[in-house]
């Protein structure tokens, strides 16, 4: 059985979950908590990144690599556009988000969440018993420095840069989406899936796996409020309503780290 090791409410993890759901790939999911995840993931891949797919004893990490692998095994519905120029554009958009926009936006998001450990624990411990979430929130201040460092959150400048990246990404999808709403070509592709997964953190599409638990903490609420009303937020919610399908995340059986 394929297993996805993941964080909840994380753009790269949502990207892979979405592809697995669309292609109806039989699998189970194991949700990890940031911090304690390191030992578990490092044992499997030698790195600490999630998402990580376990397939027949092998580990595949990197959301783009995972999507490529899935496309060869489960070609339908296709996420890679058939036309060469649309495919090249979809891959360019994926790379731009994966390597530039998403990590920058994440700095602003994590900074806001880390200011209220209870909110951070509720988001990443979503679905766990309240006692576990409270215990995680209690120890989180000890790990907060490492999480900031690991994500390049160096101070107010990196947060301001994250906000600029969010404006850039929202502006891009609002401007680029044609009459049919797609970013590369005339059909849903990995470009929409990648941009949508990143922006879902800000759009919180209702009734979706990215709709986070409430209350979400005043700093994170202020961040969401800042972009509410942006046409890029409306694009993301519409994309989710049309293409996300699954309403909830789930965990498969097995121990959680
Ligand atoms: N380029 C990677 C980035 C993955 C990534 O940054 N994952 C984050 C969660 S969104 C993570 O696992 N961070 C914790 C760590 O690296 O230890 C991908 O596309 O999958």
Q: What is the pLDDT of residues 23-62, one digit of tens each?
A: 999 999 999 999 889 999 999 999 999 999 999 999 999 9
CATH number attached to the domain at 2-73 = 3.40.30.10
Res 134 pLDDT > 50: yes
Average pLDDT, the chain: 94
Per-residue confidence (pLDDT) for residue 256, from 0 to 100: 42
Q: How does residue 254 score in pLDDT terms, banded at 50, 70 and 90?
A: very low
Per-residue confidence (pLDDT) for residue 247, from 0 to 100: 82
Per-residue confidence (pLDDT) for residue 160, from 0 to 100: 97
User: Cα–Cα distance between 200 and 192 in angstroms, integer?
Assistant: 11
Level-2 CATH architecture, domain 84-243: Up-down Bundle (1.20)
In the structure encoding, which two tokens stand for residue 163, read together? 């906000």
84-243: same fold as 2-73? no
Ligand 1 center from residue 172 Cα (angstroms): 23
Any ligand 1 atom below 6 A from CB of 188: no
Q: What are the residue ranges spanned by the domains of the chain? A: 2-73, 84-243
**Protein residue closest via CA to atom 1 of ligand 1:** 62
**Protein residue closest via CA to atom 2 of ligand 1:** 62
Contact 166, 228 (CB under 8 A): no
Q: How does residue 118 score in pLDDT terms, banded at 50, 70 and 90?
A: very high
Question: What atom in ligand 1 is closest to the CA of residue 151?
Answer: 13
């Amino acid at each position: 059985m394929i297993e996805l090791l993941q964080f909840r409410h994380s753009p790269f993890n949502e990207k892979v979950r979405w592809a697995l759901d669309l292609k109806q790939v039989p699998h189970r999911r194991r949700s990890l908590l940031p911090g304690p995840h390191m030992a578990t993931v490092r044992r499997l891949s030698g790195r600490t990144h999630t998402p990580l797919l376990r397939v027949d004893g092998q580990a595949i990490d990197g959301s783009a690599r995972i999507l490529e692998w899935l496309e060869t095994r489960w070609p339908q519905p296709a996420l890679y556009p058939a036309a060469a120029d649309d495919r090249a554009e979809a891959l360019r958009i994926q790379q731009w988000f994966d390597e530039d926009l998403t990590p920058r936006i994440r700095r602003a998001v994590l900074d806001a969440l880390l200011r209220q450990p209870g909110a951070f624990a509720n988001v990443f411990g979503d679905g766990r018993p309240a006692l576990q979430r409270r215990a995680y929130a209690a120890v989180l201040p000890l790990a907060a420095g490492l999480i900031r460092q690991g994500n390049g959150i160096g101070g107010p400048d990196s947060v301001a840069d994250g906000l600029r990246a969010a404006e850039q990404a929202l502006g891009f999808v609002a401007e680029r989406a044609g009459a049919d709403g797609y970013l590369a070509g005339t059909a849903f592709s990995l470009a929409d899936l990648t941009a949508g997964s990143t922006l879902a953190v800000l759009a919180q599409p209702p009734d979706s796996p990215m709709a986070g638990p409430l209350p979400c903490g005043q700093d994170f609420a202020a961040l969401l409020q800042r972009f509410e009303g942006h046409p890029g937020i409306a694009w993301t919610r519409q994309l989710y309503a049309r293409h996300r399908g699954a309403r909830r995340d789930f965990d498969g059986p097995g121990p959680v780290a």
